[in-house]
Structure 1
Amino acid sequence: MNAIEQLARDARLASVSLQSVTNEQKNEALLRIKQVLAERKQDIFKANEKDKELAEVQVNAGKLSGSLFKRLDICNGDKFETILSGVSDITKLDDPTKKVTMATKVDTDLALYRVTVPVGVLLTIFEARPEVVVNISCLALKSGNAVILKGGKEATHTNAILASVIQDALSSLPDSNPIPKTAVQIVETREDISALLDLDRYVDMVVPRGSNSLVKYIQNNTRIPVLGHADGICSVYLDKEADVIKATRIVVDAKTNYPAACNAAETLLVHEDLLKTDAFAKVAQGLLDAQVTLKCDSVSQTYLQTRYGDNEQYKTKLESAVEEDYSTEFLDHIIAVKVVGDVSDAVEHINDHGSKHTDSIVTENAATADYFMTRVDAAGCYWNASTRFADGFRYGFGAEVGVSTNKTHARGPVGLEGLVIYKYRAYGNGNIAGDYGTGKKPFLHDPISPSDYHL
């Protein structure tokens, strides 16, 4: 057995141990992780500074994007304190395991329960954002899963020390806490990932977080179920009954609050009636003032040039769109703009070009909003709210493993509930299938009250 297979097997054994861990033991482990992270803060910062120095060279050489570089930093501002508070937040969440989601009396002495259980072993692959090491490790432990982590090479030193600190924290738990340090492990090379993607015997789910090319590669090179999304092509549709003040605030926030995020808006769809007034011009001005480049279709470009063509500052930000712009994740201060006839046209465009992540409508008409939210095929559909709310922390999940555009198991920001599956547990008294059927004993199939559970 080679080293990677042994690592995966160790993770599998750890996941078995985690099946019976109590919520109190999980929280004890998480708080110990928070404590050791705080104690090792300076060591973590030194590693992060080293990664940033190396990454800056790559940025200057054009080999690393500015957006990835921004995600790398955990030293400045309150980023590190946010990481620590995120760990505490996870301890306050309910344990997602051992919950009964169905209870049926099949016969007087045969009870059937559907109970939530951990998925098992998670393989998480991500780029930049070293805080993901902490977020996902803590979510995995809280949900009773073991996790194998692989971060981007631009954050090698930070990822390694964060994983080491977490393992040290688990190693220092009292003997009464059975969570092993092998519940959280990290690998460093692409070769390691290639080997792990073949180990469906040990790994139960892959969660990729990163570029379209990364996710597509994972999806095409493993038999293991993949939970994630390839693109974050989010749209905001301005209906003819949109409130202009709300529209401006929402669109500017959705585009500029954090352009490098997967929940940032990449497309702005505008009802044609808004071009008969100054309504769209006001929204566009908000974007232009925020230094956003508008890649416009011919109708919107003519409209905006009429109003801003003499403004030297604005006209350089007005460009002609090409078809591929409406399927592009810019991750920058750029947005594609298109005029549509009505809400049905907007829905059709989003379903054709979007990535099923998050889309928003701005309107004061409840029926129009319901039409949009019912028919848009996305993990998140919002009414009069920025797409930037599509986030595990903002949803109250404490943190998130990632965002899924899948239609099975979990969808949208994936928190604790997305890291459990279920099993059926039957409690009988010598019952056999041959006793039931036509002319024999009937099935009861009566619901069992929680007060009568005997798990």
Structure 2
Amino acid sequence: MLQGIQDVANLPDPTGVVSYASQLDDELELYRVSCPIGVLLVIFEARPEVVVNIAALAIKSGNAAILKGGKESNRTTQLLSKAIALGLAQTSLPSTYVQAIQTRAEVSALLDLDQYIDLVIPRGSNSLVKNIQNNTRIPVMGHADGLCHVYLDESADLQKALRVVVDSKTDYPSACNAAETLIVHTSLVDTIWPEVAKALIAADVQLICDSHTLDALSRAPNPPEKLSTHVRPSTTSSYTTEYLDLTISVIALPSLHSAIQFINAHSSHHTDTIVTESDAAISTFCRGVDSAGTFVNASTRFADGFRYGFGTEVGISTGRIHARGPVGLEGLVIYKYMLRSKAQKGHVASDFGVGEGKKRYKHTTISATSVPF
């Protein structure tokens, strides 16, 4: 936890950054500048270290935060929030800048306070996120299911396939960035797929297979051991299930395009990866899959704020709003436009337009990394 705090502290200040600057007229300058969102309400699972992670990100990005952890760690959350308050009391910030609440009733009451709370960030099940979205007028940045896919393209290398698939499933099975579905190109069902299946079964992974991948294992010259105990047929619901354990669904599909269609229909838009040696397939997959992370020959487990170099994360957004994927400091700021006239009489819009005596906008780019006022 302390390392996470130090990592965040060492990152550049995300506020006050100019992302657009233009001279509209002589002595009239426009700047787009990053600024805090405001007050965050963050609801998360039991893990108490999340209290510290989010507090560090909120303080660094200039946002106040109200935190609600899982009931299993209420007392730990209370003690950590007290420690944070004691630290804040020694600064120019108020000790209440980061607060923790304990009950669902408090959450329900806060969801009505859209005049005070600017963003809700729920981390948990899809049902939790949907419930909050349906019960508040406050914008919601959801961290929901992690239905991640690994696709073995027809040009996949065996060693890469083994490493990427096994790591994606077994490195931390209960994480939201663990793979839940393996898609195998039909040309690989009698070659690479049986070897990948053996590696998964050796790691004690249960395989939920469609008819093509199941038949391929049954007819393999050297079928995997524990075939009868670790392999069973899939159902339609298998491909919309987040197992969060050593279980993975498997399906064979005839093309890259059918794999992309399948992922977009079944994925939670978290992270999906392709194993391939084809540059054309890489380009098509990364552009065609509608997820916060599209990876190539790499484990889905890399989808993480710390691993991305964000210090830590407030969650992983699977939506399509201003922040997507692991949400670090940049995901906790928005921007405003600052316009300044330096003219003796100021500037008025009616001076500009078409016709005699009207001025034209210059729209000249200004080189600026910070606002000069």
Q: Shorter-chain TM-score category? A: over 0.9
Residues 1:434 and 2:347 are matched in the alignment: no
1:279-318 alignment, distance < 5 Å = 279-307=192-220, 313-318=226-231
The equivalent residue for 2:127 is 213
Pairing 1:90–2:8 present = yes
Kept in 2, the 8 Å contact 1:308–1:315? The answer is no
Cα deviations by residue, 1:14-67 (Å, 9 ceiling, x for unpaired) = xxxxxxxxxxxxxxxxxxxxxxxxxxxxxxxxxxxxxxxxxxxxxxxxxxxxxx
Counterpart for residue 25 of structure 2 = 107
Specify the alignment match of 1:75 in structure 2. Answer: none
Deviation at 1:453, TM superposition (A): 5.5
In 2: Cα distance, 1:290 partner to 1:98 partner: 49
| 1:182-193 superposed matches below 5 A | 182-193=96-107
- Aligned match of 1:414 in 324, 327, 330? 327
**Superposition map of 1:33-432 within 5 A:** 83-171=1-89, 173=90, 177-277=91-191, 279-307=192-220, 313-428=226-341, 429=343, 430-432=346-348
Partner of 1:240: helix, strand, or coil?
coil
Q: Which amino acid aligns with 1:200?
A: D
Q: C-alpha offsets along residues 265-294 of structure 1, whole Å, 9 cap, x if unaligned? A: 0000000111242x1111111110011000
Which structure has more relative contact order (CA 8 Å, sep 6+)? It is: 2
Distance 1:245 1:311, change over 3 A: closer
The gaps in structure 2 that reach 5 residues or longer are: none
SS of the residue aligned with 2:143?
coil
Q: CA deviation at 1:422?
A: 0.3
Q: One-letter code of the match for 1:405? A: T
- 1:288-323 deviations in Å (ceiling 9; x for gaps): 001100000011011112238976623211010001
Q: How does 1:6-21 map to 2 (within 5 A)?
A: none
Residue-pair matches, total: 368
1:206 alignment partner, SS class? strand
Instruction: Return the alpha-carbon distance in structure 1 between the equivalents of residues 350 and 159 of structure 2.
Output: 69
Deviations for 1:117-168, whole angstroms, at most 9, x for unmatched residues?
A: 0000000001111100000000000000000000110111111111111111
**SS of equivalent to 2:122:** strand
Please say if residues 97 and 118 of structure 1, whose CA atoms lie closer than 8 Å, have aligned partners that are also in contact.
Answer: yes
SS of the residue 1:213 aligns to = helix
Query: In proportion to residue count, which structure has more helix?
Result: 1
Report the CA distance shift for 1:221/1:453 in structure 2 as closer, same or farther (over 3 A): closer
Q: What residue number does 1:39 align with?
A: none
Shift of 1:99: 0.3
SS in 1 for 2:306: coil
Letter paired with 1:427: R
Conserved 8 A contact 2:180-2:247: yes
Cα distance in 1 between the residues matched to 2:222 and 2:215: 9
Check the 8 A contact 1:216/1:230 in 2, yes or no: no
Which one-letter code corresponds to 1:216 in the other structure? K
Structure 2 counterpart SS, 1:160 = helix
Write the distance in 1 (CA, Å) between the matches of 2:137 and 2:126: 19
Contact 2:17 2:369 in 1 (8 A): no
Q: After TM superposition, give the deviation of residue 227 of structure 1 in Å.
A: 0.8
Q: Structure 1: which 5+ residue stretches go unaligned? A: 1-82
Is the Cα–Cα contact under 8 Å of residues 228 and 404 in structure 1 kept in the other structure?
Answer: yes
The one-letter amino acid paired with 1:285 is K
Instruction: Give percent identity, aligned residues only.
Output: 55
SS in 1 for 2:88: helix
Alignment RMSD, CA only? Answer: 1.4
Task: Encode CA deviations 1:418-441: one digit per residue, 9 max, x unaligned.
Answer: 000000011013111111111201
Alpha-carbon separation, structure 2, partners of 1:399 and 1:311: 40
Per the normalisation by structure 1, the TM-score is: 0.79
Question: Hey, what's the Cα distance between the residues in 1 that align with 2:194 and 2:201?
Answer: 10
